[in-house]
């Protein structure tokens, strides 16, 4: 088995439990707790799509908007067989805190369709995407809710959604989605943004903790867009990548893996298996390798009560959303293993999505160097704000990030009040 199957747990319960810890420390009143605990809007859709063979297949999709007190909701769309309403609820809530921790004017949303897109032809995928976009068109928009890519979706999918939404309105509306191709209003630097943000945050965390960064041994679970870019940039920064995995398996080399060679091998073979100079290992064992930095960049629920005692990393940086359960978090805290939470570590993607949205609304285009410089500034500033709270409140990084983000959203909710 390549990547550890998550335990049967409810991701929304994990998200709410994380919120409750921060709410307790902030002494939030029951009214605010009730408002911030629940999604603002949930849309479930069941829709038909005509397959290439002429048959009709039904699909189920969701769009959840958790909070809009600080601005339009923002969040990705994923295509996966394991998509569920509670998963989408959890991801939407995490997006609210993620946007707040980096102080960009968005709330949180998320969407998904229950499907394995690899089972569809390109034509079927386009028709399914356009029909899903039509089903949720009444709740998305550049001033209300702006989707983006997530698991198994990409710039092409975003282009189809943008085109579908635009056709309904009779003119082009590029700001309805982010993560688009450059040809239709995408931003330079967007594809690398999440991985670049992970690398920047990892560097800042090492400096804050007094850990050596250059030469640090890094294990990365997941070699998709986020994991591969994190690996490449960390490698360029001087880290030693000793373990990598994808959905097919994991590879290991204590002396270091040539990330550029791994990227070329993946492009040629579609998987990491067989990468020259590496030893194949079980995906579960990858997480438990002795290393300085562990970066889970796959799916949620990978670090659990079942394996937390065997994790040998000195620092964990969450590139994936929700990879650590509440129980595992407590074990890491007791063991003195710092965890940089997802809402901070992987916020580079939504930050550059914000840049893309702003460029679209203003009909501007920034150079990649400007995008990367602005991203660096926001990620460093956000990390320092969280780290200051961590030291002031004598808490861990996750609670520091939640205290910062929840307080910002709570303040917006109080100031706006309740209508009518």
- Residue 338 belongs to a domain: yes
- If asked whether residues 308 and 218 sit together in one domain, one would say yes
**pLDDT category, 3, cuts 50, 70, 90?**
very low
Determine the Cα–Cα distance for residues 356 and 340; give it in Å rounded to an integer: 26
Are 73 and 205 in a shared domain? no
Name the band, by pLDDT with cuts 50, 70 and 90, for residue 128.
Answer: very high
Residue 201: CATH number of its domain: 3.40.50.720
Provide the domain limits for residue 103.
39-173
Domain boundary (112, 143, 173) is at 173
Q: Is 181 exposed, middle or buried (0-12, 13-18, 19+ CB in 10 A)?
A: middle
Q: pTM for this one?
A: 0.93
Q: Per-residue pLDDT tens for 236-266? A: 999 999 999 998 999 999 999 999 999 999 9
Question: What pairs with residue 218 in β-bridges?
Answer: 241, 293
Domain count, the chain: 2
Residue 164 shares a structural domain with residue 208 = no
Q: Which residues are catalytic, by number?
A: 110
User: What is the reported pLDDT for 8?
Assistant: 57
Same domain, 148 and 208: no
- Lay out the sheet containing 56-65: strands in order across: 41-50, 56-65, 107-114, 73-80, 145-149
CATH number at residue 143: 3.40.50.10860
pLDDT in tens, 378-401: 999 999 999 999 999 999 999 999
Domain C-terminal end among 304, 324, 345 = 345
Q: What average pLDDT does this structure show over 185-192?
A: 96
Q: What is the residue-averaged pLDDT of the chain? A: 95
Q: What is the pLDDT of residues 17-65, one digit of tens each?
A: 989 999 999 999 999 999 999 999 999 999 999 999 999 999 999 999 9
**Which position has the token pair 């990620």?**
379
Contact 342, 98 (CB under 8 A): yes
Percentage above 90 pLDDT, the chain: 93
In a domain, 14, yes or no: no
Q: Would you say residue 415 has pLDDT above 70?
A: yes
Same domain, 162 and 209: no
pLDDT band of residue 219 (cuts 50, 70, 90) is: very high
Please determine, for residue 130, whether its predicted confidence score (pLDDT) is greater than 80.
yes
CA dist., res. 15 & res. 322, Å (int) = 8
Model confidence at 106: pLDDT above 60: yes
Residue 414 counted as domain residue = no
């Amino acid at each position: 088995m390549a990547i550890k199957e998550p335990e049967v747990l409810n991701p929304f319960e994990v998200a709410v439990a994380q919120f409750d810890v921060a709410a307790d420390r902030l002494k939030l009143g029951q009214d605010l707790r009730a408002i911030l605990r629940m999604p603002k809007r949930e849309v479930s859709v069941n829709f038909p799509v005509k397959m290439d063979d002429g048959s009709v297949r039904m699909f189920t999709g969701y769009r959840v908007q958790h909070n809009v007190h600080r601005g339009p909701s923002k969040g990705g769309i994923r295509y996966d067989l394991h998509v569920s309403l509670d998963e989408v609820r959890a991801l939407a809530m995490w997006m609210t805190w993620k946007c707040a921790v980096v102080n960009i004017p968005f709330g949180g949303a998320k969407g998904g369709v229950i499907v394995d897109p690899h089972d569809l032809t390109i034509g079927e995928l386009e028709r399914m995407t356009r029909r899903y976009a039509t089903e949720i068109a009444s709740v998305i928009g550049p001033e209300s809710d702006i989707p983006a890519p997530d698991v198994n979706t990409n710039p092409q999918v975003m282009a189809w959604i943008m085109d579908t939404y635009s056709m309904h309105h009779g003119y082009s509306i590029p700001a309805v989605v982010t993560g688009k191709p450059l040809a239709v209003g995408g931003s330079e630097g967007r594809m690398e943004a999440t991985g670049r943000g992970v690398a920047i945050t990892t560097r800042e965390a090492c400096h804050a903790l007094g850990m050596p960064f250059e030469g640090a041994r890094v294990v990365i679970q997941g070699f998709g867009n986020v994991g591969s870019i994190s690996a490449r940039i960390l490698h360029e920064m001087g880290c030693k990548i000793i373990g990598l995995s994808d959905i097919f398996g994991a590879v290991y080399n204590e002396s270091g893996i040539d990330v550029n060679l791994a990227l070329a091998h993946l492009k040629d073979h579609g998987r990491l298996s067989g990468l020259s100079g590496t030893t194949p290992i079980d995906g579960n064992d990858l997480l438990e390798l002795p290393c300085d930095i562990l970066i889970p960049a796959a799916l949620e629920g990978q670090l659990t009560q079942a394996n937390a005692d065997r994790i040998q990393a000195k620092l964990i940086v969450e590139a994936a959303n929700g990879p650590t359960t509440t129980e595992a978090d407590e074990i890491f805290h007791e063991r003195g293993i710092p965890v940089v939470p997802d809402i901070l570590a992987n916020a580079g993607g939504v930050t550059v999505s914000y840049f893309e949205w702003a460029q679209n609304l203003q009909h501007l285009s920034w150079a990649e160097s400007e995008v990367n410089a602005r991203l660096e500034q926001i990620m460093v500033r956000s990390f320092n704000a969280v780290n200051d709270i961590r030291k002031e409140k004598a808490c861990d990084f996750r609670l520091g990030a939640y205290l910062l983000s929840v307080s910002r959203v709570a303040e917006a909710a109080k100031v706006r009040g309740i209508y009518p």
